[in-house]
Amino acid sequence: METKKSFKEHIDYLYDMSKLMFCFSSGWKKRHEAEDMKDILARRTMLLELTGVKNNKNDELSLMECLNDIFKENKSDAEIFETLAFNKIKHYLDKDARLSYEKDNTPPEGYNAGSLKYDAPLKELPSNHCNFHISNAIYPKSIFDDKTYLPECFMTLLDKSEKEYGYNVLRTYTWLNSHPRWLELFPDEWKNNMSTPDNEIWNNLGFWGQLITARKTFNHKTAGYIRTNCELKYKPRASWCSFSAMRKHLEKFIRTIPEETHYVQ
């Protein structure tokens, strides 16, 4: 039986994730010389969130300037930059560690279909398109362990969003669209409508979520790939399919569920 991560494991996660962000930033800068290191750190990594300064503009600017100075002095040695930059932010990580640990042990907010959440209509999408997000509401278990769990979540999402907003097309953009276990959940229509892999990297879990295990610890295997290649192992992609195609595909997963079982709420 899986157990929730310990506080020590959470600290290790914060440290390992931050160090990887500095390693990645050095490699990205070498490939994109015209980009400013401050922008890379702020816009392409999750350092602002990890350090807790994301919503404090003064602290954000001050920290980015300091890290940029460290990079300028050590840009020829990525390992030294990583070490010195990490030492600079370590006290930020330690200061908010207990709060972020408690947050990780709290169910995700606003999720209206188990480990899935659908948006209200978005102005950039057609009015019948249901955009959704993915989390892990059954932590420390994996959302993939029980093959009926995510299909139940999707059925709940389809039923509730159709009733609330009249949606009939399912849509999302995520790194999971490059992961085989995720793609098993979708019909051919979803796979045929897949966008090309996105080589961009931005500062949110739609990109960096692949570094987090089901127990919300650091994914060392995927991190090793990023360290070696300076790119994501699973590149985000967008796709869509009709509700009818999705429902038909999900039947093979949920038809064995007893009749008295209700969909995830």
Q: Is residue 230 part of a domain?
A: no
Q: Is residue 42 part of a domain?
A: yes
Looking up residue 245, the CATH number of its domain turns out to be: 3.40.630
pLDDT value for 58 = 83
Whether residue 144 sits in one domain with residue 86: no
* Mean pLDDT within 150-179: 97
For residue 189, pLDDT over 70 is answered with yes
pLDDT value for 11 = 98
Whether residue 130 sits in one domain with residue 67: no
Whether residue 14 sits in one domain with residue 72: yes
Whether residue 72 sits in one domain with residue 25: yes
* Final residue of a structural domain among 57, 85, 103: 103
Q: Is residue 131 part of a domain?
A: yes
Whether residue 145 sits in one domain with residue 90: no
For residue 51, pLDDT over 90 is answered with yes
pLDDT value for 256 = 55
pLDDT value for 2 = 81
pLDDT value for 262 = 43
* Structural domain range at position 48: 7-103
* Mean pLDDT within 97-119: 95
Q: Specify the number of domains making up the chain.
A: 2
Whether residue 52 sits in one domain with residue 117: no
For residue 263, pLDDT over 60 is answered with no
The dihedral region occupied by 110, where left means phi > 0, alpha psi between -120 and 50, and beta the remainder, is: left
pLDDT value for 259 = 47
How many other β-carbons are positioned within 10 Å of the β-carbon of residue 122?
Answer: 12
Whether residue 48 sits in one domain with residue 113: no
Q: Is residue 207 part of a domain?
A: no
Dihedral of CA atoms 190, 196, 200, 202 in degrees, nearest 10, equals -10
Kindly indicate the confidence band of residue 260, based on its pLDDT and cuts at 50, 70 and 90.
Answer: very low
Whether residue 115 sits in one domain with residue 87: no
Per DSSP, which regions of the chain are E strands? 116-118, 129-134, 169-174, 237-242
* Final residue of a structural domain among 103, 129, 155: 103
